[in-house]
Structure 1
Amino acid sequence: MVVQERLEITTRNREMIEITAQVQGIVAASGIKTGLCHLFIHHTSASLILCENADPDVQRDLAAYLNRLVPDGDPLFIHTQEGVDDMAAHVRTVLTHSDLSLPVADSCCSLGTWQGIYIWEHRYLGHRRRVTVTIYGE
């Protein structure tokens, strides 16, 4: 069996938003007990990550590291039509993930104790982000 749903999440700014509960709700409602959950974000300046969800310092440190690795306004970038964060956001997305695949067991994503699913907005301004959730299994 295959079930597919779409999530729409509004971001406010450059931030990480945990979507674990929404994804787990879709998986539980799918009726699929064992299988695979695939997530895909339909954007080139936001990404999906699987990250620790217990200590918010982890997300802060990841953001600080990625900001150092890919600084906004780097003179190397030519593509800046939408501002200094334009090309940096695209690079950050390529370095992280546009999709995630997670095992489904007992009608939920089988995550580790401290794992959470996040949308990582790489732009300064918020956007409406679409994520397709597809669950395969029985």
Structure 2
Amino acid sequence: MQWQQKEISLKARPRGFHLVTHEIVQQLPELAQFELGLLHLWIQHTSASLSINENADPDVRLDFESFFNRLVPESEPYYRHNDEGPDDLPAHFKSSLLGCELTIPIRQGGLKMGTWQGIYLGEHRNQAGSRQIVATLQGQTKSE
């Protein structure tokens, strides 16, 4: 059984939901060594999220953004935490609702996701920088 861990960086993106599967896999060449296992991803931010959903139709990502903006509106008069602007607290709410981690099966050196599944970065801030992710690989390597 092998364990490997590294930090990867996702480029800065505008607010919205972004398909980042390729960007993550590209930064994990170690993935190819694993015959069977798990990839755990943990985003190190409280105003962004990770989730798995539709990887083909970009309208799904636009609909996600519209839905979450209606669910968690900005500038509500009862919000106390707004030190960094009207998107500050809503970004934290969205991050908590969607989550900061994913666990994905590995098989034969790749991610074993469904045909229409992809990894989303939920960027919930209007002006955000790059996002850092801790990637932990666990499993049986091809040399074992």
- TM-score normalised by the shorter chain: which range applies? over 0.9
Partner Cα separation in structure 1 for residue 61 and residue 82 of structure 2: 26
CA drift at 1:84? 0.4
Partner Cα separation in structure 2 for residue 26 and residue 8 of structure 1: 8
- The number of residue pairs the alignment matches comes to 138
Q: CA RMSD of the aligned region, Å?
A: 1.4
Which residue does 1:89 correspond to in 2?
Answer: 91
CA drift at 1:126? 2.4
- In structure 1, which of residues 48, 56, 59 is the aligned counterpart of residue 58 of structure 2? 56
List gaps (5 residues or longer) in structure 2: none
**Higher mean C-alpha displacement, 89-98 vs 19-28:** 19-28
Taking structure 2 as the reference length, the TM-score comes to: 0.89
CA drift at 1:76? 2.1
**Higher mean C-alpha displacement, 5-14 vs 51-60:** 5-14
CA drift at 1:17? 2.6
Which residue does 1:13 correspond to in 2?
Answer: 14
Q: Percent identity between the aligned chains?
A: 38
Taking structure 1 as the reference length, the TM-score comes to: 0.93
Contact persistence 2:8–2:133 (CA under 8 A): yes
User: 1:27-106, aligned counterparts within 5 Å?
Assistant: 29-30=30-31, 31-106=33-108
2:129 is the alignment partner of 1:127 = yes
List gaps (5 residues or longer) in structure 1: none
CA drift at 1:127? 1.3
Which residue does 2:5 correspond to in 1?
Answer: 4
